[in-house]
Structure formats: C-alpha cells, structure tokens
Amino acid sequence: MKSKKKSTKSKKNTAKLIINSNTYQLPIHKATEGSDVINITKLFSESGYFTYDPGFTSTAACESKVTYIDGEKGILRYRGIDVSELAEKSDFIEVSNLLIYGDLPNQKQLKKYRKLIVNHTMLNEQLIKFFNGFRRDAHPMAMMVGVMGALSAFYQDSLDINDPHQRMTAARRIIAKAATIGAMSYKYSVGQPFVYPDNELSYAENFLNMCFSVPSENYKIPKIISRAMDIILILHADHEQNASTSTVRLAGSSGANPFACVAAGVASLWGPAHGGANQAALEMLETIGNKNNIDKYIEKAKDKTDEFKLMGFGHRVYKNYDPRAKILKNICKKVLAHVGVKKDPILELAIELEKRALKDSYFIQKKLYPNVDFYSGIILRAIGFPPEMFTVIFSIARTAGWTAQWTEMIDDPIQKIGRPRQLYTGNKSQKYGKIRSKKNTR
Ligand code: ACO
C-alpha cells in the first residue's frame, strides 16, 4: 500500500494532472507522518474543473498538528503521544492542555491550567433556568446542543475571536462548562435537583458527582469508576478531522463565535453514524438478545437490501482494531467486576459477536473491526448512565479536541471561509411558466 503511494509521486514534489491535452502541475505537500497531499487550490482557476469527493474520502480539508491516526496500523496519537500511554498516565485536564497548547505542561503550568478550568465550572444562574423550558422527556443531547449554543448569550467577554486571550478563555469555559451542562441535562431528564460543581474534585469525579449525588445521601465515587470515566474522556478527546470536528471548523471559518461552533459540533456528533453509535451499539446488543441470534444479525448486516449494520463496527479511517476499543475492552471487564457483575450477558454477547464477525469473510475483506463505541456503552451502563447519556459524555470529552482544532484554525494564516463547490446535475435554465404548467409528479 505504502510503496504504491510512493511510486505515483513525482520526483519534484509535484503531481501532474492531464485533462484533455492540458497538463497541470500540482504541488505535493509533505506530511510529517502519513499521507502527503496534492494541493489543488489553484486547479479551478487554472483549469475550470472542480474535484469531486463526497464524504471527503480523499480530501485533506486543512493542515493540522493536533492528532495523528494511522488507520491501517490502528494508531492514535495526540500531539505525537500514543493514546494508550495517555490513558495509562494522564488525566483529562492534562490531555486537554496538551491538545490545546501543543505539548505537555510542566507541573506549574498544569496547576495553573487546572485552576483556570475549575474557575469556569459553574453556569450563570439565568442559564440554568433554560433547562426548565425543555420537555421532561427531551433527549439530553437536545439540551446539550441548545445550552452549549446559549453560552454565547452569557459570556460575551469571550466572543472576540481575534483576541487570543478571549479565545483561550472561551476554550476553557467550553471545556469546564460542558461537564456541568451534561450533568444538568441528565439531572433534568431524571427529575432530580441539579448538583453544583465541586472544584475540589477532578474533572471526571466532578462530572460523576454532579450526575449521581443527591441531597439526601452521600455519594462516594469509587476510584476505579472515576478512573474509567477519566479514560473514556481521554480516549474521546480528539480524533482528527471527523464529522463533528470538521463541522466546528467549517462553522468557525465564517468567524462565528466558539460557543456557537461547538454547539454545531455537538449537533453533528449526535448522529448514529458518529457519536450516537455507542447508544445504537448497546441498543443493538439488547435487540440481538442472546448468542443464538448472532449469526442471524451478522447475515442481516451483510445483506445490502437490509438497512441493519453492526453498530460499533467499522470506521472511515481505522482498517484495523480501533486502539480505543482495545483499551476500553479491558476497562470494561474491570468496571463490571467492580460493580459486582460477574457475568454480564451483554458483555458476553458483545465479545462473542466480535469474535464471530472478525472470522466472517465479509468483515475481514472490508476490514471492519470494533470501534470505540462497541465497548464504551457497556462501561457507561455499568457506571449507571442510561444510553441517552452516552453521546453527551462523548461530546463533553470532545470539547477538548474541538477547541484545540478551532484555535488552530483561527491561528492558521491561510484560513479562509470554508466553501465547498458542487457537481450540478439539476435542470438547465427554464421558464417559470413552463414549470407551473408541468404535471406535478411528486
Ligand atoms: N456493518 C455492516 N457493514 C458495514 C459496516 C457495519 N457496521 N460498516 C461498513 N460496512 C460496509 C458498508 O456497507 C460498505 O459496504 P460496500 O463496500 O459493499 O458498499 C463497506 O463496509 C464500507 O463502508 P462505508 O460505509 O463505505 O464506510 P464509511 O467509511 O463510509 O463508514 C462508518 C464508516 C459510518 C463508521 C460505518 O462503518 C458505519 O456505519 N458503522 C456503524 C456505525 C458506527 O459504529 N459508527 C461509529 C463510528 S466511530 C465514531 O464516530 C466515534
């Protein structure tokens, strides 16, 4: 695969494109690792042609230094550090600092950063009243999208994207308040009183405390549970130019404020093909029910006339085991053992489904492996979260990546408004009268 790529490269670091009898020289930019890119920015002005790439399967939309993925090898690194190392040694706050600032902070910087984050954990009291406007049965992601966007109405001293200080303040506010908004969305949906942040706790502990403590009794957070929560947050913190991150960048490219951009990212993440897949994966396992039904559902997933897919399987970039899924599979066993589930039928079903799918020629040929969503739902359920909260937790974690990518984009000197073009295949010019007289076949 690699050598094939190399052989098509021009020696002068340019690619040649021949359209009819015209030759266009396209510069090739070198990546530190992974695929180099062919710069086509002048192609349209020089040739009159656009490129066509629905779903951006071959398009690098930006230059970035934040996250690197090698999908073939199953590698994920934040700022060059492997996620498995970060999951073992770091915590979410430090990882968010790494993502935003580009390298690990020293102890003094980290202490200062932690303080700056916890300064922002509370929500404006007026903003808390927003929750009462939602229906009781509202999906917590609906509240997450709405309240995240509404931050721009309350924190107007951090909306100027041209001021680096305001940009950083906005980023910290988003990361700090995301956990509070997520927890309040949960509390509202279960009809319990809101719990205010406790800044003595770590980010993961504070989130768990805001979700699960009640005024009537003490809530003690077991270390193993808060560590599992922290690792889930670390593993979901960034993932290069995925749909929601690209949404944040595209929204931000117009100069929109960061709270609005991150709300757009939350909306994009909600979809079942993206962040919503962890909820969908758990629901799928519950539908499959028991091991006797596995083969039937694998056949359904392979049947092109059937819309069913194995949720938590497959990935646009990973054509190998998702490194995050590997870590979570281990955490899953530890958390279940801690909560006293000696044998969780859903976990056993998941492991068996994974085993059978990975032996099936369809999944082998298409390189479909479990992704991060396959096991995260089982852990979150064991911690006590309902499926509707899974994507909310994903979005809380991803605020670190979204803000890092957004600040990188604003700082990029070649940044301009994102404006894709299209292959138009609609009607040619026609008269208004002719349209009206046409028989309506809709
Ligand atoms: N079950 C069955 N078949 C699948 C699956 C699956 N989970 N995933 C992909 N395929 C098949 C496709 O039908 C397609 O078949 P074809 O070549 O015969 O048309 C082939 O594998 C390639 O898949 P694409 O959909 O083209 O891959 P793409 O990169 O566009 O999609 C995606 C990736 C959206 C993640 C897809 O694998 C999927 O829908 N998976 C299930 C949902 C899921 O788990 N999403 C979470 C992704 S991770 C994240 O967002 C954190």
Ligand 1 in reach of 309 Cβ (< 6 A): yes
Beta-bridge mates of residue 19: 22
3-state secondary structure of 239: coil
Catalytic residue flag (residue 373): yes
Task: For residue range 260-303, list pLDDT tens digits in order.
Answer: 999 999 999 999 888 888 888 999 999 999 999 999 999 999 99
Residue whose C-alpha is closest to residue 91's, from 312, 397, 386: 397
How far apart CA 396 and CA 392 sit, in angstroms, is: 6
pLDDT of residue 337: 87
Task: For residue range 31-68, list pLDDT tens digits in order.
Answer: 999 999 999 999 999 999 999 999 999 999 999 999 99
R_g over Cα of the chain: 24
Q: Using CA atoms in the order 102, 108, 112, 114, what is the torsion angle rounded to 10 degrees? A: 70
Ligand 1 in reach of 274 Cβ (< 6 A): yes
pTM of the model: 0.91
How far apart CA 207 and CA 394 sit, in angstroms, is: 13
pLDDT of residue 43: 97
Six-digit token string for 68: 């690197």
Ligand 1 in reach of 364 Cβ (< 6 A): no
Q: How far is the CA of 312 from the centre of ligand 1 (A)?
A: 9
How far apart CA 395 and CA 440 sit, in angstroms, is: 44
CB 70 within 8 A of CB 315: no
Task: For residue range 321-332, list pLDDT tens digits in order.
Answer: 899 999 998 998
CA–CA distances in Å: residue 238 to residues 99, 235, 241: 8, 8, 9
Amino acid at 115: K
Strand (E) or helix (H) holding 17: strand 14-19
How far apart CA 343 and CA 228 sit, in angstroms, is: 19
Q: How far is the CA of 3 from the centre of ligand 1 (A)?
A: 26
Catalytic residue flag (residue 139): no
The dihedrals phi and psi of 75, each to the nearest 5 degrees, come to -115, 135
Ligand 1 in reach of 324 Cβ (< 6 A): no
pLDDT of residue 442: 66
Amino acid at 140: P
How far apart CA 389 and CA 374 sit, in angstroms, is: 15
Parts of the chain with a pLDDT under 50: 1-10
pLDDT of residue 279: 85
Q: Please give the full DSSP string across 32-53, using - where no structure is assigned.
A: SSS--EE--TTHHHHHS-----
How far apart CA 442 and CA 434 sit, in angstroms, is: 16
Q: Point out the catalytic residue in the list 274, 315, 322, 344.
A: 315
Beta-bridge mates of residue 67: 78
CB 191 within 8 A of CB 138: no
pLDDT of residue 44: 97
Strand order from edge to edge, sheet including 14-19: 14-19, 22-29, 37-38
Length of the chain: 442
